[in-house]
Amino acid sequence: MNEYKKIPVNLITGFLGVGKTTAVINLLKNKPENEKWAVLVNEFGEVSIDHAMMLSVEAGQLSVMEVEGGCICCSAQQNMFSTLQTILKQVKPQRILIEPTGLGHPASILDMLRAKPFADQLEVHATICMVNPVQLFQEKYKTNGTYLDQITLADVLVANKTDLASEEEMEHFWEFTDELYPPKIIVDRIEHAFLKAEWLNIIPGESRIALFPDSHVMQEQMPAKTFLKRFPKPGKPLMKPGYSLGNYSCGWIFSAEEIFDLGELNKLIMRLFFENKVHRAKGIFRISSDWYLYNFADGLPSTHYIAYRRDSRLELIADEAQNWAEIQEKIQRCISKNEE
């Protein structure tokens, strides 16, 4: 009789814009072809960008599921519970990766995975936290309890975007990590969000305790994104504003027939960053005959080709309340033409 083998599960954490989704996609692209993996993704905001990105990954034996209704560490915990049960009963994967929202506190997620009924089916492997070394200098991060606990609860701590960090910032990162207790199993640096696959197999040792367990204030249950099931017409995008965890957000979905001008989009996002305190933008846009993933974090834009084709979509996150209708008009002015 074969001995029952628990399914390894990894939590991939890190603040908004650090590169978690890109890291997960890189892992999926290089996973063993004969292994069935499941990904559970939960993102901040009203429009699913990360889920759409992962669905475009060309990898066999892969199931990607999204947890809606808020953050899985608080308001959407019940949704996470039921989604995990679905994965275990229907997908029956050989590994599970969980990517919480960048504003999520990992403590309650880890508690759920280690408690019954999941403790009998899952084996919690290393929690991997990604940080941008530039952020360690900034007061808004140094005083954020959720940010600090993402680091505290990690077994593997990785500096990403190190190609954009100065020598001084990297030296500060190494000094910061040397003082962490209990020490991390792995501390390393990477570029372009390429996590090492062997880190997924690390078994955590001693238990890590959150220093700021109450830093993540319980949020009201947010409605499921039912509006996403509709298809917008040209000139009439779907708009969904939101507020959670001290951040204001708004998501839009545009018709696949609308073609955007990348240069105008870049200029608009930069203006919103400097003038409106919009600190995060993520989207998928049709540019000419192709679709591109658009990422804006830490004041820097980037674009990558993506296989997604259903529509164009954008999510903005800001520190302050915004006139989203006015911003929508500016976004629509970035549309160069409609498909003929």
Token pair belonging to 189: 């640096």
Amino acid at 5: K
Helix (H, G, I), strand (E, B) or coil at 296: strand
CB 221 within 8 Å of CB 249? no
pLDDT of the residue at 123 = 97
CB 120 within 8 Å of CB 90? no
pLDDT of the residue at 221 = 40
> Which string of DSSP letters, residue by residue, matches 74-116?
TTTHHHHHHHHHHIIIII--SEEEEE--TT--SHHHHHHHHST
What residue ranges of the chain are covered by domains with CATH 3.30.1220.10? 235-338
Which residue stretches of 253-313 are H helix?
Answer: 262-275
Q: Going residue by residue through the chain, which has 340 residues, state the pLDDT in tens, using 9 for 90 and above.
A: 345 689 999 999 999 889 999 999 999 989 998 999 999 988 765 566 666 666 656 556 788 887 765 565 555 567 888 889 999 999 999 999 999 988 788 888 999 999 999 999 999 999 999 999 999 888 888 888 889 999 999 999 999 999 999 999 999 999 999 999 899 999 999 999 999 999 999 999 877 888 877 665 544 444 444 444 457 889 999 998 988 767 898 999 999 999 999 999 999 999 999 999 999 999 999 998 888 989 898 888 989 888 788 889 999 999 899 999 999 999 999 998 765 5
Q: Is the previous residue joined to 182 through a cis bond, with omega within 30 degrees of 0?
A: yes
pLDDT of the residue at 64 = 83
Pairing of strands 247-254, 238-244: antiparallel
Q: Which CATH architecture has domain 235-338?
A: 2-Layer Sandwich (3.30)
Q: Write out the H or E segment, with its range, that includes residue 26.
A: helix 20-29
Helix (H, G, I), strand (E, B) or coil at 210: coil
pLDDT of the residue at 69 = 53
The Cα 227–Cα 53 span in angstroms is 19
CATH code 3.40.50.920 for 7-201: no
| The model's pTM | 0.76
CB 38 within 8 Å of CB 27? no
What residue ranges of the chain are covered by domains with CATH 3.40.50.300? 7-201
